[in-house]
Structure 1
Amino acid sequence: MYGKAFAPEYQGALTSLSVNSSLVDVLAAGIEQLRAAERSGRRDEQARCQLAVAEAHRRLGRVADADRAWKASYRTARAAGETAAMAWALWSGGTLARQRGAFPLARRLLALAAELAERGGDVVARGYSLAGLAETGRIQGDYEAVGRLHEQLLAEARRRGEARHTVWALEGIAQMHRNTGSYDTAYALFEEAAETAGRAEDRRGHAWALRGLADIVSVRDGDTERALALLSEAEVSCRAMDLSSALAYNHKMRGNVLYRAGRHTEARAMYELALSEFRAMGEPRGEALSRLGLAKALARLGRDRAETAAELADLAEMLERAGLRHTREMVARAQAEFGVGAETEFGVGAETEFGVGAEAEFGVGAETEFGVGAETEFGVGAETEFGIGAEAVR
């Protein structure tokens, strides 16, 4: 049995905020309480408020502000000797790094967050940090490496009755099944996620689950109108909560649904909208997916073949550098679809080939593997013990 969803990143004076609070309201409350904490000299409370500010900025797509806020939260928590608060700050920083496409840095920050959370006795922060590692691997296409971790985190969330984290894990596992062609399994998992989120009043999780259901309904069933209706329902929550990233992914998925239905002019408009949204928030993965959809729509609308080839080749090169294997494979399928090159290594039907055999890299019990050691500051006590690189704190 699950209780009402809660937002553990809203702490201290901000615990009254709901998981469904508008991010604009979260930001305003976070700044107000931060000023009060600064006046009272309470560093522990300052760190908690800075965390909420960082998360509001991140979800609103304000990358530079989010970067400053999580680092400030970490430094304040370190000065106060608050290990668990340090872990939460690093979780926020790692999540932001993933959002920006800096995957190696994301893994280092999230792994250190998991280690500090364990030291600080914060089981929720540890779970969120390990979930961040799992999601980073999933986004990059390393399904073999992170599949078991997703399953373990789902079991832990169910055992604790933590609805929000259960929904996240169900959606991650569902997405891997969808990407490997197991549509019925993916649909059932997205459906369970939507039902769990609905009962727990988790509007954000519900919106993401509806997006997943819309995708399956479109690709498996060819039911365009139902898919669009699901996306419209999800969009209401995205707008109510100012979920900029979720809204952009909703628009990108609407483009996918329209493209599959042969409504290429409408699809082009949605991809262009999503592309502008992702560019405004500096989210390279979403930008790449939107560029891919737009290139395909334009090709169907008669764009010069050489221009399509050049666009897809540029995308492929960028994704190769970024390490986004699954998205890179999607580009290869588009190249094959339009007969414009490289359908070899990442050819059609290769959805399951991305397991890297590195289960230890993301495996349970390996939280301390990333970023422990050699780079520079950010240490707990001894600043060389947990160095994760100067780029993280400048």
Structure 2
Amino acid sequence: MYGKAFAPEYQGALGSLSVNSSLADVLVRATEQLRAAEREGTRQEAARCSLAVAEAHRRLGNTGEADRAWKASYRTARSAGDAGAMAWAAWSGGTLARQRGAMPLARRLLTLSAELGERDGDILARGYAIAGLAETGRIQGDYEAVDELHEQLLAEARERGEARHMVWALEGIAQMRRNTGAYDSALAMFEEAAAIAEEADDRRGRAWALRGVADLVSVRDGDTERALALLSEAAELCRAMNLAGALAYNHKMRGNVLYRARRYSEARRMYEQARSEFLVIGERRGEALARLGLIKSHSRLGREPGRTSADLDELRRALESIGLHHARRLTDDARTELGLAPAEATPEAEARRKTTGGERETGGERETDRQHGADEDGEKAAAA
């Protein structure tokens, strides 16, 4: 059994806010409460309000403001000697770092958050931090390293009846199974996540789960219209809560569905829209993956192969720069699908190999969907 979803990142005077509260409303109220706490000199309350400000800005895509707010929360919590509030601030900072593609910083901050949460006895803060570490590993393609951790977190969430974490863990495991070709299992887990999220009134979690269901309905069943309808339902949930990042990933998935249906002009337009949205919110990984869809769509619409090959070389370097261990696989699979020469045979790759002494191929599970490359995990930090 499980209870209604709640948002532990909204604390103190903001504890009555719902997990489904509009982020614009959260930002207004959190800012007002922060000013009041600063006037009254209540440092612990100011730290909690700064956390809510940071999270609202992060999810709205205001990364500069989010960065300043989580650091202010951490400094204020430290001056008050509140290790629990420090843990939550570090969690927010680590989640923001992952969103911006700074994976090593994300790991450091999330590890710090877990340590502080354990020191303070804040089980939720520690759990969110560990979940963040697991998600970071999954996004980087280190499935073997984090699969067991996801299963452990799911079991703990079921035991405590934490619907929001149950949904997060189910979606994470489902994404890994989808990316390794276990479509039936992945679909069942996404559908369970969607059902739990609906019952627990977790609209954010449901929006991500519906996106996963739409992906599987498209790639496994070829049911384009149902997939697009599910994405439309999820997009409405995103808009109602001002979830800029989730909406951008929704649009990228719509591009994937259209691409698989060979509706390349429509897919190109959706990828262009998603890329623009990712650029606005500073989401480097999403922007790079939208570029992958754009490159493939342009190729299908007749772009010269040499230009496509050069675009894939550039994209691979961009993916590697943000720590995606499966960058080579993503671009190599695109080459195979589009009938291009392997990267090793291109003049650019030969020149790079001569100057660098060769490149090491890194890990990542093998994608079995050859019609369209794996849609890597959405940035679900807000649901974790």
Q: TM-score, normalised by structure 1?
A: 0.87
Distance change in 2, residues 1:163/1:219 (3 Å): same
Instruction: Kindly state the Cα deviation for residue 350 of structure 1 after the two structures are TM-superposed.
Output: 2.6
Residue 332 of structure 1 contacts residue 348 of structure 1 at CA under 8 Å; is this kept in 2?
no
User: Superposition pairs for residues 1-394 of structure 1, below 5 Å?
Assistant: 1-342=1-342, 350-351=366-367
The alignment partner of 2:326 has SS state of helix
* Structure 2 gaps, min length 5: 345-360, 369-384
What do residues 222-260 of structure 1 show as CA deviations (whole Å, max 9, x unaligned)? 000000000000000000000000000000000000000
Distance change in 2, residues 1:208/1:327 (3 Å): farther
Residue 325 of structure 2 contacts residue 364 of structure 2 at CA under 8 Å; is this kept in 1?
no
Distance change in 2, residues 1:335/1:36 (3 Å): same
Code of the residue aligned with 1:68 in structure 2: it is R
Distance change in 2, residues 1:162/1:349 (3 Å): closer
Instruction: Kindly state the Cα deviation for residue 305 of structure 1 after the two structures are TM-superposed.
Output: 1.2
CA distance in 1, matches of 2:229, 2:362: 33
Residue 214 of structure 2 contacts residue 226 of structure 2 at CA under 8 Å; is this kept in 1?
yes
CA distance in 1, matches of 2:267, 2:235: 17
Aligned equivalent of 1:361: none
Code of the residue aligned with 2:106 in structure 1: it is A
Residue 20 of structure 1 contacts residue 241 of structure 1 at CA under 8 Å; is this kept in 2?
yes
Deviates most, 299-308 or 339-348: 339-348
The alignment partner of 1:269 has SS state of helix
Code of the residue aligned with 1:177 in structure 2: it is R
Residue 141 of structure 1 contacts residue 325 of structure 1 at CA under 8 Å; is this kept in 2?
yes
Code of the residue aligned with 2:62 in structure 1: it is R
Distance change in 2, residues 1:342/1:317 (3 Å): farther
Distance change in 2, residues 1:327/1:348 (3 Å): closer
CA distance in 2, matches of 1:146, 1:190: 18
Distance change in 2, residues 1:151/1:348 (3 Å): closer
The alignment partner of 2:214 has SS state of helix
Instruction: Kindly state the Cα deviation for residue 325 of structure 1 after the two structures are TM-superposed.
Output: 2.3
Residue 251 of structure 2 contacts residue 270 of structure 2 at CA under 8 Å; is this kept in 1?
yes
Instruction: Kindly state the Cα deviation for residue 163 of structure 1 after the two structures are TM-superposed.
Output: 0.3
Code of the residue aligned with 1:264 in structure 2: it is Y
CA distance in 1, matches of 2:225, 2:175: 22
The alignment partner of 2:262 has SS state of coil
Code of the residue aligned with 2:280 in structure 1: it is A
Residue 37 of structure 1 contacts residue 46 of structure 1 at CA under 8 Å; is this kept in 2?
yes
Aligned equivalent of 1:380: none
Deviates most, 331-340 or 142-151: 331-340
The alignment partner of 2:70 has SS state of helix
Instruction: Kindly state the Cα deviation for residue 323 of structure 1 after the two structures are TM-superposed.
Output: 2.1
Residue 139 of structure 1 contacts residue 326 of structure 1 at CA under 8 Å; is this kept in 2?
no
Q: TM-score, normalised by structure 2?
A: 0.89
Deviates most, 136-145 or 324-333: 324-333
Residue 174 of structure 1 contacts residue 185 of structure 1 at CA under 8 Å; is this kept in 2?
yes
Code of the residue aligned with 2:230 in structure 1: it is L
Instruction: Kindly state the Cα deviation for residue 346 of structure 1 after the two structures are TM-superposed.
Output: 7.8
Instruction: Kindly state the Cα deviation for residue 331 of structure 1 after the two structures are TM-superposed.
Output: 1.7
Residue 141 of structure 2 contacts residue 364 of structure 2 at CA under 8 Å; is this kept in 1?
no
Q: Percent identity, aligned pairs only?
A: 72
Instruction: Kindly state the Cα deviation for residue 11 of structure 1 after the two structures are TM-superposed.
Output: 0.2
CA distance in 2, matches of 1:196, 1:336: 39
CA distance in 2, matches of 1:199, 1:321: 40
Residue 289 of structure 1 contacts residue 327 of structure 1 at CA under 8 Å; is this kept in 2?
no
Code of the residue aligned with 2:2 in structure 1: it is Y
Instruction: Kindly state the Cα deviation for residue 337 of structure 1 after the two structures are TM-superposed.
Output: 1.5
CA distance in 2, matches of 1:139, 1:286: 11
Instruction: Kindly state the Cα deviation for residue 330 of structure 1 after the two structures are TM-superposed.
Output: 1.8
Code of the residue aligned with 1:43 in structure 2: it is R
What do residues 128-179 of structure 1 show as CA deviations (whole Å, max 9, x unaligned)? 0000000000000000000111111111111110000110000000000000
User: Where does structure 1 differ by over 6 angstroms across 4 or more consecutive aligned residues?
Assistant: 346-349
Instruction: Kindly state the Cα deviation for residue 303 of structure 1 after the two structures are TM-superposed.
Output: 1.0
CA distance in 2, matches of 1:326, 1:216: 21
Residue 255 of structure 1 contacts residue 268 of structure 1 at CA under 8 Å; is this kept in 2?
yes
Residue 333 of structure 1 contacts residue 347 of structure 1 at CA under 8 Å; is this kept in 2?
no
Residue 336 of structure 1 contacts residue 343 of structure 1 at CA under 8 Å; is this kept in 2?
no
CA distance in 2, matches of 1:62, 1:319: 22
CA distance in 1, matches of 2:260, 2:343: 21
Residue 320 of structure 2 contacts residue 327 of structure 2 at CA under 8 Å; is this kept in 1?
no
Distance change in 2, residues 1:322/1:342 (3 Å): farther
Q: RMSD of aligned C-alpha atoms?
A: 1.5
Distance change in 2, residues 1:328/1:29 (3 Å): farther
Instruction: Kindly state the Cα deviation for residue 326 of structure 1 after the two structures are TM-superposed.
Output: 3.3
Instruction: Kindly state the Cα deviation for residue 327 of structure 1 after the two structures are TM-superposed.
Output: 4.6
* Structure 1 gaps, min length 5: 353-394
